[in-house]
Amino acid sequence: MDRRTFLTQASGCAASASLIAAGCHFEPITKDNTKTIEVAVFEGGFGIEWHKDMARQYEQLHPGVKVNLWGDPRVDEKIKPRVLRRNPPDLASCTLPVWKLITAGRLFPLDDALASPAYGAEGKTWKETLRAGVLADYVYDDKTYALPSNLGVWACWYSKKLFREHGWSAPSTWDELTALCEKMLAAGIAPLAFQGKYPQYAWSTILSCYQRLVPFEKWYDIEDFKKGAFLDPSFVKAADLMQELAVKYFQKGALAMTHTESQMEWANGRAGMVFCGLWLKKEMEKALPDDFEMGCFPVPMVTGGTGDPKAIYSGGGESFFVFKDGKHPEIAADFLKFLLSIEPARDYVKRNDSLTPVIDCQVGIKISSALQSAVDAIEGSTRMYSDRLNTLYIEWHRTLVQQAQADLLRGAITGQQFADRLEAGAEAVRSNPNIYKPPARGVPAL
């Protein structure tokens, strides 16, 4: 090997080695100093087309910024190892052990962006354009660390056409619901489809049912993880009612179905109703017949219950997080502000037939019967409430609650045993000093 060849090869090796050493922190330097932010989005029922278009609009608004936006139904699995490697994207919407990230200081606080002027709403800060309460779930040390990209409603969905054909009407009490289920059985239709491969789909229904049974002062004891909260006889009753639905009225084989399989059964008319979030319409869009008229009703009032009959289980979904370890967290926060501003939000409503946390985003827009049902339920409600335990105590929820729900739904344990298991798990969390527990917040102000 001559000296020239040796030097050429050696410099090639050195360049390669330095690139490897630079690893994931390598960022191409562009001539015009364009800054690129990476945005990873959960590609669920709502897809990512809207996000992509908003990225292009943002780029036009900010010529110095390029938004590299991608989506994946399993975005979590791709992001989680990257967060551990301290190489996360700038902005992501996915399920993460978010409280571990917040307490470890890995998320970027959104407060400065929230206090800055909103896009498209002159004279208002971004915070002032958002619905009250949507920021409450991820506040730590008076700082806000996440923002939901849509507003969900937990409801029972049905086909208006099917109901008309059979002369059925949406139930307003639990007894009416079970009576309706009996009528459906008699008509040869499985009353309820259920996403059994994900037993956590029962959680919102159980909590909604419990809310119908008790005043909010009691309901929020569970959210505050107060000692003995799960042992409340009304919580046991809520679990028993859920079990009755599962054992008597779930479609045969539902416990082995994924969300798409079970929802397809409902869309094809083999099951009469399904409990789900607002994303159902968009998620099943391609499977629904053209003349399918979706309607929904909230979890009905339980006879003898003392809870607010007009409250509705509803809250933010698909939350976005800005990572401190990202390359441009400030730009990422600003892009999030743009996503959740009035014009993009209105576009979101039109395209996805859903709602966002931006105030009045649906006003003046012609919306589908499905979304109108949900809007009616929200507008007719006295309070919107939702659960935060599944993000706060992720291990407790993913293992203990998920398994206990699966056992409850297949009739392997009673409602009392279900409550005992949850309480025992909660006690283990309470006594573990290494798990962050936020201060009790009681019933949030309206």
Partner 1 sequence: MSPKHLSRDTKRFLWIGILPSALLYGLFVIWPAINALMYSFTRWDGLSTPVWIGIDNFVNLFKSGSDFVTAIGHNIYLTVIPGSIILTLALFFAWMIHLKVAGSTLFRVTFFFPNVIASVAVALLWVLLYSTTEMGPINNIRQALHMEKVPFLESARLLQSIVPMMVWSATGFYLVLFLAAMENIPVDYYEAAHLDGASPTLQFIRITLPLMWDVLTTGIIFLIVGGLKFFDAVWVMENGRPSPATHTMSSLMYAKVFEEYNVGYGTAIAVLLFVLVLIITRISMRLLKRERLEY
**Residue ranges that bind partner 1, judged by CB under 8 A:** 74, 76-77, 80-81, 83-84, 97, 100-101, 104, 106, 196-199, 252-258, 261, 264-265, 394-395, 398-400, 402-403, 406-407, 410, 412, 434
Minimum separation from the CB atom of position 96 to partner 1 (A): 8
Minimum separation from the CB atom of position 356 to partner 1 (A): 27
Which single residue is written with the structure tokens 């009996």? 182
Minimum separation from the CB atom of position 173 to partner 1 (A): 30
Decide whether 27 or 395 has the Cβ nearer to partner 1.
Answer: 395
Decide whether 132 or 247 has the Cβ nearer to partner 1.
Answer: 247
Dist. CA 130–CA 118, nearest whole Å:
10
Dist. CA 236–CA 119, nearest whole Å:
47
Look up residue 28 and give its two tokens: 């191409």
Decide whether 240 or 407 has the Cβ nearer to partner 1.
Answer: 407
Decide whether 195 or 354 has the Cβ nearer to partner 1.
Answer: 195
Decide whether 83 or 361 has the Cβ nearer to partner 1.
Answer: 83
Dist. CA 351–CA 53, nearest whole Å:
11
Dist. CA 64–CA 334, nearest whole Å:
13
Q: Which amino acid is at 380?
A: G
Minimum separation from the CB atom of position 285 to partner 1 (A): 19
CB distance 421 to 232 below 8 Å: no
Decide whether 189 or 359 has the Cβ nearer to partner 1.
Answer: 189
Dist. CA 353–CA 369, nearest whole Å:
10
CB distance 333 to 48 below 8 Å: no
Decide whether 62 or 78 has the Cβ nearer to partner 1.
Answer: 78
Minimum separation from the CB atom of position 23 to partner 1 (A): 14
Decide whether 43 or 347 has the Cβ nearer to partner 1.
Answer: 43
Minimum separation from the CB atom of position 97 to partner 1 (A): 5
Dist. CA 336–CA 359, nearest whole Å:
16
Which candidate, 349, 211, 359, places its Cα nearest to that of 281?
Answer: 349
Decide whether 266 or 275 has the Cβ nearer to partner 1.
Answer: 266
Decide whether 177 or 190 has the Cβ nearer to partner 1.
Answer: 190
Minimum separation from the CB atom of position 261 to partner 1 (A): 5
Cβ-in-10-Å burial (0-12, 13-18, 19+) of 111 comes to: middle
Dist. CA 63–CA 410, nearest whole Å:
56
Q: Which amino acid is at 242?
A: M
Minimum separation from the CB atom of position 406 to partner 1 (A): 5
Which candidate, 48, 45, 140, 212, places its Cα nearest to that of 388?
Answer: 140
Dist. CA 190–CA 262, nearest whole Å:
11
Q: How far is CA 302 from the centre of its chain?
A: 26
Length of the chain: 446
Dist. CA 191–CA 273, nearest whole Å:
6
